[in-house]
Every structure is written in structure tokens, then in C-alpha cells.
Amino acid sequence: MRALQRQLAAEHARWQDLTRRLSLYDSRILDQAKNHAEASLLAYQSDRGDFADVMHAYVDDLNTRIDNIRLQVERAQTYAVLANLGGLSQ
């Protein structure tokens, strides 16, 4: 019983951390990556930037989006574990 309670507490803490991280992605990180890519493109279009910088910025933006999706998947998996352990209120 104690082992299950420890596992439940650990999964709940993990779920809370993932929720916090996803909130940060939604409120700041995704927008910053997108804005950086757009700014790099505008600089390139006005002959103040390199094409390589544009590509790096867009690759970073895509990687940020992929990281966000991975966090969503991890949180969903954690939620499933919590449901199996009976740690969700009805």
C-alpha cells in the first residue's frame, strides 16, 4: 500500500511539473520561437540577415513545437498512470 502511495505521489508531482512546463510553453516559449523566426526572415528580406540564420530560427521553432508535443504526450501518459492508480477524483 505504501509503495502505491509513493508511486501515486511521484506521478502526481510529475503531472504537476509537466502541467507547469506546458503552461510556460503556451504563455512564452512558443511565441518567442515563432517571433524569432519571423524576425530572422524579415531581417533577411531587408538584406540585414543571413539565410542560414533564417533556417536556424525556423528549425528552432519547429524543435520547440516538437518539444511541446512531447510534453503533452508525457502529461497524457502520466494522467493515464494516475487514473490506473486511482489518484483522480471523480
pLDDT by 10s per residue, the chain, length 90 = 899 899 999 999 999 999 999 999 999 999 999 999 999 999 999 999 999 999 999 999 999 999 999 999 999 999 999 999 887 764
Give the contacts of 82 (CB within 8 A, at least 6 positions apart): 8, 11, 12, 15, 88
For residues 75 and 56, what is the distance between their CA atoms, to the nearest angstrom? 28
Question: What is the length of the chain?
Answer: 90
Would you state the pLDDT for residue 66?
98
Yes or no: say if 37 and 58 are a contact pair by the CB < 8 Å rule.
yes
What phi, psi does 56 have (nearest 5°)? -60, -40
For residues 75 and 37, what is the distance between their CA atoms, to the nearest angstrom? 27
